[in-house]
């Protein structure tokens, strides 16, 4: 793929990624580039030209350690945002965010001013296949839905194609204004308590449940392994050892770019 000039958003995100990597190296923290960012590393050796975010994942123990030191080690223009911030945090995953709100997000019911950001997800142990996994999935979908409804106007992507049952829930939430009756901090706490029940280091299979993972996103921990270095713009980043198996789990044809109408999924624009 040909190199491309980074957009203003990508330049700001790249600054966050490089800062994050430096902190991980200085504190011996494990991380992996993930989701579309990993496609970028493999297919473009950097950002996907039209991509509008960066995604990294950390084994749960490293994620918790980073959470504890983030406020102390991040530079002054960045902050670590999690569900613990209540109404000021609107996504399922944690984020490192630039305090300069140079962009607007146009996905949900509200147009939101935002700084450039990077998603930071925990990799959690997954229950073994069978009844336990099915029961976990029911609890997981309930807790996930409660977190989303607690921030309905800010988080729920109204432009995304959805199955009929999700459309019913969204319609119900819009009519009842349910987010006014839900505590985002309590919903987030219960969500993370559920996700972290199976210790990462004891698990044979894992998943990044804060992202788009459902049961089909569960994979052997060996797919991540100890991490392999991949070229990303003018630096090297750590990604899963078996990048092909990892990416095919989410994007079976990951070497083929999507149609134009499916690009820039967050609908981020420079603030006027």
Query: pLDDT, tens digit, for every residue of 155-212?
Result: 555 556 666 656 666 666 565 665 566 788 999 999 999 999 999 999 999 999 998 7
> Is the sign of the CA dihedral 134, 167, 155, 243 positive or negative?
positive
At 87 the pLDDT is: 78
Model confidence at 230: pLDDT above 80: yes
Quick one: 98 exposed, middle or buried, by C-beta within 10 A (0-12, 13-18, 19+)? buried
If one compares 231 and 177, the residue with the highest pLDDT of the two is 231
Give the pLDDT band of residue 2 (cuts 50, 70, 90): very low
CA angle 3, 239, 137 (to 5 degrees): 120
Are the C-beta atoms of residues 42 and 241 closer than 8 Å to each other? Answer: no
Read off the pTM: 0.86
Q: For residues 124 and 107, give the distance between their C-alpha atoms in angstroms, rounded to a whole number.
A: 28
More confident: 17 or 267: 17
pLDDT digits (tens, 9 = 90+) for 29-78: 999 999 999 999 999 999 999 888 899 999 999 999 999 999 999 999 99
């Amino acid at each position: 793929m040909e190199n491309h000039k980074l957009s203003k958003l990508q330049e700001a995100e790249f600054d966050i990624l490089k800062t994050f990597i430096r902190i991980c190296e200085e504190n011996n923290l494990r991380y992996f580039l993930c989701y579309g960012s990993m496609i970028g590393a493999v297919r473009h050796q950097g950002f996907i030209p039209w991509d509008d975010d960066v995604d990294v994942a950390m084994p749960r123990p490293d994620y918790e350690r980073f959470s504890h030191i983030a406020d102390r080690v991040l530079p002054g223009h960045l902050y670590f945002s999690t569900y613990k911030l209540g109404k000021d945090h609107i996504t399922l995953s944690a984020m490192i965010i630039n305090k300069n709100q140079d962009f607007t997000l146009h996905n949900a019911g509200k147009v939101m001013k935002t700084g450039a950001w990077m998603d930071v997800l925990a990799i959690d142990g997954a229950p073994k296949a069978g009844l336990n996994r099915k029961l976990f999935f029911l609890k997981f979908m309930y807790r996930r839905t409660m977190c989303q409804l607690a921030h309905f106007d800010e988080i729920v992507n109204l432009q995304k194609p959805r199955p009929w049952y999700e459309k019913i829930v969204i319609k119900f939430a819009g009519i009842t204004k349910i987010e006014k009756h839900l505590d985002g901090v309590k919903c987030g706490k219960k969500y993370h308590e559920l996700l972290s029940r199976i210790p990462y280091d004891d698990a044979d299979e894992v998943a990044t449940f804060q992202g788009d993972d459902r049961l089909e996103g569960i994979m052997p921990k060996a797919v991540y392994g100890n991490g392999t270095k991949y070229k990303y713009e003018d630096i090297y980043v750590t990604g899963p050892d078996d990048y092909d198996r990892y990416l095919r789990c989410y994007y079976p044809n990951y070497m083929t770019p999507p149609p134009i109408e499916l690009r820039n999924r967050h609908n981020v624009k420079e603030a006027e």
